[in-house]
Amino acid sequence: MRWLDEVGSLPFTLAPRLAEEGCGGDKGEGGPAPPLPGGPAPRLFGRAPRRNKDREILTGWEVPSGWSDREAFASSFGRHGQYAKGNDVQPFRDGKTGEKCRTSTDGLIKAMSVLSAKSKGGDGSGRRGKEILFFTNDVENPSFLADLSSRHGVPPPVSSLPAFANSSASFRVFSAMERGSSHPLHSHGAAWLGQASGSRLWYLLPPGTPRSEWGPKVNACEYAREGSGVEPPEGAVSCVQRAGEVVYLPRGWVHATCALEGWSVGVGGQGGSPAAYDQDFEVLSPVEEEEYDRGGRVAEEMTKMVDCGVLEQGDVEDYLDSYRVEASKDGVTPPRQPDQGKVVDVEIAVTEKNQPKDSEAEDAGSDWRRFDGDLNEYYNSLERDEHGKRDPNVITSYAVHRWLGPEASMLIHYELVRGEIYGRLLGTTLKDEGEESKVGLRVFDAGCGLGPGLMYLEQKEPSWDLVGHTISSEQHRWITEDLPPHRFVARLRSYDEPLADGDGEDRRYHAIYSIEAAIHSPDLRHTLAQWSSALEPGGIVVLIDDFLSVGVDRDDDPDVELFAKSWLANSVVTTTELSEWSDGIGLALVNDRDLGSEYQVLKRNYRGRRPEVKVQRGLKHQVRCVNK
């Protein structure tokens, strides 16, 4: 667990308060603390000690595979029925019938995703709209908890404790929250919770604390939010639980939790008799397979969330449009096209709700969107649709490049960049994947996207000073709010804008690299000149991108023309042209590698066939190609 004064770099704006004790009963920087009042203390179980922290080593509990991805979770457990609850752990009510609001796991996750995306339009706190607390137990939902429990066990340190030694004297619980959602202060029997995904902030008060000292019942995130004006109760302990860690609370400890990351998932157990928590809920069961697969179900479930006051009608319309789902009069919902990864055809998208108006589309005689050449909106749109599939802790989930090599890796690009830096600047060969240069180079990522290259190089080369520019506000939001703590700097700028630091000091770079981004430049010759002027003497520029074959007519070839429009590729040039331009801007072409042949790009990404570019109605984005 991490202390409150250590979590400033988490994707949440926290007040600079110092907790005196942690959930494991250890001092922030001063070693073990005296025993906490109120009898047995909470305990923390984890894989290994954190810096300056004592915690017990956990050897018998694995984070359930695939649970960190909401869509993968919905795919595995989507058919199970659920109550849609607020943070008071009570179901919302249907405004028309007064019945408890029920949906499938898949429908509930979709509603949570909609509210989470909506909140990001503000300060990213998750406070806008309703708060959904996905919390259930095996009293009301035995089939769901049984299915979950088949994928994980009770950690041995916990299973040996009196409250959980006898399974008949305890019951199982599941909790999932979006960032900024909370389970306010409450208390009950002994409990344990394993964090499977994301992270949550805990506030604890010892047993016997009078309710009058708990303060008002509020979203616990307000205790930590900068400028909220809401103080935690006097004497509250604060700490952060990460994925893979397990918290045990003895009976009677008052506690509240706040989700610090999107899709924060926990699974655990609670001691005592389940009958004591019977809230007269009808026992839930899975949705019949035929009903779950029926056309129209998604639209109906989302509309049901409107009747329950969870979503607004506009939210549903935006969601259905974004995922190409239509609520037709006959109740048939055209199925969402699955993400097939290695797609051969490049599909140029159009939506009926947002018909293109730019002149180029009209001139082409088609109705697909070109975003009027707006790269910011183009990549913003991609990020909004794909955001839920990404895991900020897994670089390959947000590295968006063509696959290279027999392992179909997207990380080879970064190793190619490292290799050129080692060979051209350090005069050596990159031999061992685990080695690092230990030389303080300054490196710039021109078109850093979601930051995978910067994150990868920071991990491999901790001595490098890394900076990147992205033109997309949504990509920049991902880097600054969703990625784990990092040292590199990402700016919301075009890579044609000055590369100097914000303090005005003109620090130059030893290397500038651009991966599948230079092709967007409206004037690549000008862009190269800008980069050249920002280099240290002897510095290098590394480009990995699509280049035109010599002899192909750029202006008259219809495939080239459609490719350029579909990818917003403003600079489709040959490497010969690059060489000619270099002479006048202080550069020289020193290495021209055909990565397409070397790494079998056609075979890996297009099944050995030349990709067919075609106009196709019904897709939101302009292009779906390879893994984009």
Q: Do 426 and 280 share a domain, yes or no?
A: no
Half-sphere exposure of 238 (CA within 13 A, CB side): 25
The CATH number of residue 77's host domain is 2.60.120.650
Q: What separation, in Å, do the N-terminal and C-terminal C-alpha atoms of the chain show?
A: 36
In this model, does residue 288 exceed pLDDT 50? yes
In this model, does residue 451 exceed pLDDT 90? yes
Q: Do 265 and 406 share a domain, yes or no?
A: no
- State which of 272, 289, 306 marks the end of a domain: 289
User: Which residues are within 8 A (CB) of 103 and not within 5 positions of it... i.e. 6 or more apart?
Assistant: 81, 82, 84, 111, 301, 304, 305
pLDDT 10s digits, 7-47: 333 333 333 333 333 454 433 333 333 333 345 666 656 65
The C-alpha atoms of residue 542 and residue 236 are separated, in whole angstroms, by 53
- State which of 289, 322, 339 marks the end of a domain: 289
Q: Do 382 and 257 share a domain, yes or no?
A: no
The pLDDT of residue 604 is 55
The C-alpha atoms of residue 589 and residue 577 are separated, in whole angstroms, by 10
Q: Is residue 30 in some structural domain?
A: yes
Q: Do 383 and 275 share a domain, yes or no?
A: no
Q: Is residue 569 in some structural domain?
A: yes
In this model, does residue 609 exceed pLDDT 50? no
Query: pTM higher than 0.85 for the full model?
Result: no
Q: Do 271 and 383 share a domain, yes or no?
A: no
The pLDDT of residue 281 is 77
Residue 495 pLDDT level (bands cut at 50, 70, 90): confident
Give the E-state strand segments of 89-243 in sequence order.
Answer: 102-104, 134-137, 170-177, 182-186, 191-197, 199-205, 237-242
Q: Do 383 and 283 share a domain, yes or no?
A: no
Q: Is residue 258 in some structural domain?
A: yes
Q: Do 391 and 272 share a domain, yes or no?
A: no
Q: Do 284 and 384 share a domain, yes or no?
A: no
The C-alpha atoms of residue 72 and residue 78 are separated, in whole angstroms, by 9
Number of structural domains (the chain) is: 2
In this model, does residue 185 exceed pLDDT 90? yes
In this model, does residue 138 exceed pLDDT 50? yes
The pLDDT of residue 41 is 64
Q: Is residue 328 in some structural domain?
A: no
The C-alpha atoms of residue 547 and residue 538 are separated, in whole angstroms, by 25
Q: Do 270 and 404 share a domain, yes or no?
A: no
Nearest-10 Cα torsion for 177, 182, 183, 186: 160
Q: Is residue 322 in some structural domain?
A: no
Q: Is residue 309 in some structural domain?
A: no
The C-alpha atoms of residue 117 and residue 381 are separated, in whole angstroms, by 12
Computed over every residue of the chain, the mean pLDDT equals 74
Q: Do 254 and 402 share a domain, yes or no?
A: no
Q: Is residue 295 in some structural domain?
A: no
In this model, does residue 571 exceed pLDDT 60? yes
Residue 506 pLDDT level (bands cut at 50, 70, 90): low
H helix runs in 48-97, sequence order: 70-77
pLDDT 10s digits, 64-85: 777 888 888 888 899 999 999 9
What are the tokens at 594? 């055909």
The pLDDT of residue 75 is 84
**Whole-Å CA distances, 79 to 193, 281, 332:** 24, 19, 19
Q: Do 235 and 384 share a domain, yes or no?
A: no
- State which of 242, 274, 289 marks the end of a domain: 289
- Give the structural domain span for 234: 2-289
The CATH number of residue 433's host domain is 3.40.50.150
In this model, does residue 596 exceed pLDDT 90? no
More confident residue, 483 or 27: 483
Q: Do 283 and 396 share a domain, yes or no?
A: no
What integer is the mean pLDDT of 310-334? 63
Q: Is residue 277 in some structural domain?
A: yes
In this model, does residue 175 exceed pLDDT 90? yes
Lowest mean pLDDT among 153-162, 199-208, 298-307: 153-162
